Amino acid sequence: MYKIPFNRADIGSRDLALLGESISAGHISGNGPFTKRAEAEISKVLGSHKTLLTTSCTHALEMSALLLNLKAGDEVIVPAFTFVSTASAFMLYGAKPVFVDVRNDTLNIDPEAVELAITDRTRAICVVHYGGVACEMETLSKIAKRHNLLLIEDNAHGLFAKYKGKYLGTFGSLATQSFHETKNITCGEGGALVVNDPQLVDRAEILREKGTDRTKFLRGQVDKYTWVDVGSSWVMSDLLAAILCGQLERADDIYAKRMHIWNRYNSELAKWADHNNVITPIVPDGCEHTGHVFFLRLATGDSRDRFISHLRDHGILAVFHYQPLHLSTVGRTLGGREGQFPVTEKAGDCLVRLPLFYTLTDTEQSFIIDTIQNIGLE
């Protein structure tokens, strides 16, 4: 048992009170009052045409794949440094994920690599805002427009983060959000599909409701509902939506605390990192992040492993992150090979994430920082 875990979920009294309201009201399936409330709040802040709560961010990505009408032979460009869902969601519906490398500063998808990877089979570009720090959206949006490609944002890390004053999740035709236990705003498990293209709203609602027009029926737009398209059951329970509403109400407080922790790590570890050839996160001008991840990039895989072991010996759980998708079992069947994407491979070998969660105390963070500053990596 670690004295300080990597993550500690915070479900507050307000979250529990709203959960109790949901149970008392008797509507615990999907599309209830708390679902509508959370969707409306997210859409209001982002300015999106529609937000649809889903059972996970993975399922929101799968909905995106269906909305693309993908078929065998189609290609979707994705970063090699990302969670498996970014690629598998498109592969599930027949497309081939085409991996590209990430930038060395932000670990976000490299626009130059994207442009080089486009073929006559490319249907979409799916970007991932790593750690909630924005991709180079101005350039990527121009590339997508120039080649007539759909732009999708996997924004699992970046709810309410901004790029040049505009919210992440509002650049692409579609964007996905995650409310997993490890995310800034959480309901344990869950996600959302943010629909910015009004032409995709009706079908997105149908896909989420098993391929039926049940959502229109619930709004009184049709007198009965029927099966009209493919789809699946991707509707979040109103119980989880109630917890999510509580989290959204205190989002400003949650983000302020996470940014306090992130900024303290960044400030107090800077000298140690410089002395030990360790790279701390880089946030480009114009990017406003939300303190989702604080990571260190050590010089070698061996030093990273010794670093993790040292913290573990002191009761602190620090963890690595994505392993390069092109070198996974499936990735190799798609042509992945060692040395193909050097930045991704280096990050997979050398990156470590520090504990960062709302209830992390100043005393706990001081202990983490002191423990790290006593590690000599040379």
The pLDDT assigned to 179 comes to: 98
235 & 339 share domain: no
Residue 37 sits in the same domain as residue 167: yes
Could you tell me the pLDDT band of residue 132, with boundaries at 50, 70 and 90?
A: very high
**Nearest CA among 15, 42, 308 for reference residue 178:** 42
DSSP string, 329-359: HHHHHTT--TTSSHHHHHHHHHEEE----TT
Same domain, 80 and 204: yes
Q: How many CA atoms lie within 13 A of 365 on its CB side?
A: 20
State the pLDDT at residue 225: 85
Distance CA 238, CA 26 (A): 10
Question: For residue 318, what pLDDT band results from cuts at 50, 70 and 90?
Answer: very high
The predicted structure's pLDDT at residue 217: 74
Same domain, 168 and 193: yes
Asked whether residue 277 is domain-assigned, the answer is yes
Residue 125's pLDDT band (cuts 50, 70, 90): very high
What is the structure's pLDDT at 378? 61
Domain boundary among the residues 249, 280, 297 is at 249
Q: How far from chain centre, in Å, is Cα 165?
A: 19
In this structure, the answer to whether residues 99 and 162 fall within a common structural domain is: yes
Over range 153-177, report the average pLDDT. 98
Residue 289, in any domain of the structure = yes
Number of domains into which the chain is organized: 2
Give a yes or no: residue 72 inside a domain: yes
Computed over every residue of the chain, the mean pLDDT equals 96
At residue 295, the pLDDT reads: 98
213 and 306 in a single domain? The answer is no
| 290 and 153, same domain (yes or no) | no
Taken in order 45, 46, 51, 54, is the CA torsion positive or negative? Answer: negative
Closest CA relative to residue 57, chosen from 216, 242, 187, 161: 187
Residue 7 domain-assigned?
no
Domain that holds residue 257: 251-373
pLDDT score for 113: 98
* 167 and 216 fall within a common domain: yes
**pTM listed for this prediction:** 0.96
**2 in any annotated domain:** no
Residues 215 and 273 in one domain: no
Confidence of residue 219 (pLDDT cuts 50, 70, 90): confident
The mean pLDDT of 2-16, rounded to a whole number, is: 95
The answer to whether position 163 is within a domain reads yes
**41 has pLDDT over 90:** yes
Q: Of 249, 267, 301, which marks where a domain is finished?
A: 249
* Cα–Cα distance measured from residue 324 to residue 341, given in angstroms and rounded to the nearest whole number: 9
pLDDT at 376 over 80: no
Is it the case that residue 1 has pLDDT exceeding 70?
no
CA distance 376 to 303: 10
| Residue 143 domain-assigned (yes or no) | yes
Asked which of 249, 264, 289 is the last residue of a domain, the reply is 249
Same domain, 110 and 152: yes
Same domain for 48 and 163, yes or no, is yes
CATH number at residue 232: 3.40.640.10
Question: What is the mean pLDDT of the segment spanning 113-132?
Answer: 98
| Residue 86: per-residue pLDDT | 98
What is the percent of the chain with per-residue pLDDT over 70, rounded to a whole number?
99
Mean pLDDT over residues 177-201, rounded?
Answer: 97
User: Band of the pLDDT at 220, cuts 50, 70, 90?
Assistant: confident
Per-position b or e across 50-86, b if 16+ CB within 10 A of its CB: bbbbbbbbbbbbbbbbbbbebeeebbbbbbbbbbbbb
